[in-house]
């Protein structure tokens, strides 16, 4: 039976909610973890299926992406950083963090990135409607989903501390690791 010694964590949320900041700080605090930014990973592993001119972004081939990332998830200790979350194998995910940001803060962050107004509007609408959280609830068991506010650096620091504490508890609860197999 294949096991992973560390949990896998998805950090997800609308663009601009602080996914990468959270992931980088977790890896700094717990260096046994690996941060996988899915946009970079998809580029490195040729997991694109075209380019969306309107959104000015690549279209990810989700099947190729899942095939490429599954061996990494089976090793454990991965922090997945991406705005989508429901396509990763549930049996390999131990915690899903959904970051939420107030609309004014999110607007400022996206504007500072130089996003087109249509892309800012689309992402703020997504945040208002809770699309990312809904996808998480549809893809994973409710007990592994945690929604956290990400408006300030204090929020981020507190969230990272909370996630590290959760990891410590997970390791204590799984001294021999967790199975990569489907539960029957």
pLDDT of residue 53: 81
Nearest to 155 by CA among 2, 4, 13, 3: 13
pTM: 0.94
- Point out which residues pair with 95 in neighbouring strands: 9
Q: Which residue has the tokens 């454990």?
A: 76
21: annotated binding-site residue? yes
Domains and CATH numbers, the chain: 3-167 (3.40.50.300)
pLDDT tens-place string over residues 38-66: 999 999 999 999 888 877 788 899 999 99
Between CA 66 and CA 153 the distance in angstroms is: 32
177: annotated binding-site residue? no
Between CA 112 and CA 25 the distance in angstroms is: 22
16: annotated binding-site residue? yes
169: annotated binding-site residue? no
Ramachandran angles phi, psi of 145, nearest 5°: -100, 130
20: annotated binding-site residue? yes
77: annotated binding-site residue? no
pLDDT tens-place string over residues 73-131: 999 999 999 998 889 999 999 999 999 999 999 999 999 999 999 999 999 999 999 99
How many C-beta atoms surround the C-beta of residue 76 within 10 A?
22
């Amino acid at each position: 039976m294949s096991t992973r010694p560390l949990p896998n964590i998805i950090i997800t949320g609308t663009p601009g909610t602080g996914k990468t900041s959270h992931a980088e700080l977790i890896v700094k605090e717990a260096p046994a973890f690996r941060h996988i930014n899915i946009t970079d990973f998809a580029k490195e592993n040729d997991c694109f299926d075209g380019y969306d001119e309107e959104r000015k972004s690549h279209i990810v081939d989700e099947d190729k992406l899942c095939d490429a990332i599954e061996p990494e998830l089976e090793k454990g200790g991965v922090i997945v950083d991406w705005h989508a979350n429901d396509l990763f194998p549930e049996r390999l995910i131990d915690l899903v963090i959904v970051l939420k940001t107030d609309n004014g803060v999110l607007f400022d962050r996206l504007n500072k990135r130089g996003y087109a107004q249509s892309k800012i509007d689309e992402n703020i609408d997504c945040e208002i409607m809770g699309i990312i959280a809904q996808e998480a609830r549809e893809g994973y068991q409710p007990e592994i989903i945690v929604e956290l506010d990400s408006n300030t650096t204090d929020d981020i620091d507190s969230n990272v501390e909370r996630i590290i504490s959760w990891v410590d508890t997970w390791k204590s609860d799984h001294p021999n690791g967790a199975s990569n197999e489907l539960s029957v």
